[in-house]
Amino acid sequence: MNEEAAVVNLFFTVRVFVVGSLLLALPRISRKGLMFGTYVGEEQVEGAGARELMRSWDLGSAAVMVVSLTVGCGISLAGRPIPGNLTGTVVLLIASLALYLRMYGKARRLAPPSAAQQAMRSSASHSNTGQPAGLRG
């Protein structure tokens, strides 16, 4: 490996670790009760579901970093350092976005129902007479 490839790989590796560290930090520095762009409630953040979600995020972020490093350095070691750097960076960004969207979907399931959802459930429990199910005689 020549000197240029070594420098490119060094900067690529540093970039992956900096971006990976930011990925790991972002959910921890957001507003309490907010997980992956979804308000789940402050009490829900302390629950088992939220802990499992964070564990999945941590493992997924580590996997994204390993995969992007493997792809980028693998292409670089095959004699193409610049394409390896670019490809590894693209893998890092796309995989991070896919992971975030996956966690967003899981966080939405932890969120309390919105007022509109509660109103729909309430209206579904009423009979044709308009009385709530508990008041029917």
Number of domains observed in the structure of the chain: 1
56 domain residue, yes or no: yes
**pLDDT value of position 65:** 94
**pLDDT value of position 68:** 95
24 domain residue, yes or no: yes
127 domain residue, yes or no: no
123 domain residue, yes or no: no
137 domain residue, yes or no: no
77 domain residue, yes or no: yes
94 domain residue, yes or no: yes
The CA-atom distances, in angstroms, between 114 and each of 40, 50, 107, 109, 111 are: 11, 19, 14, 12, 8
**pLDDT value of position 31:** 79
The CA-atom distances, in angstroms, between 31 and each of 28, 43, 69, 118 are: 8, 13, 31, 25
50 domain residue, yes or no: yes
Q: How far apart are CA 113 and CA 38, in angstroms?
A: 12
**pLDDT value of position 115:** 47
Given a contact cutoff of 8 angstroms between Cβ atoms, the answer to whether 109 and 101 are in contact is no
- Per the structure, the complete domain to which residue 17 belongs is given by 3-28+36-111
| Stretches in the chain below the pLDDT threshold 70 | 1, 114-137
**pLDDT value of position 134:** 57
Global confidence as pTM? 0.73
Q: Could you give the 3-state DSSP secondary structure of residue 9? A: helix
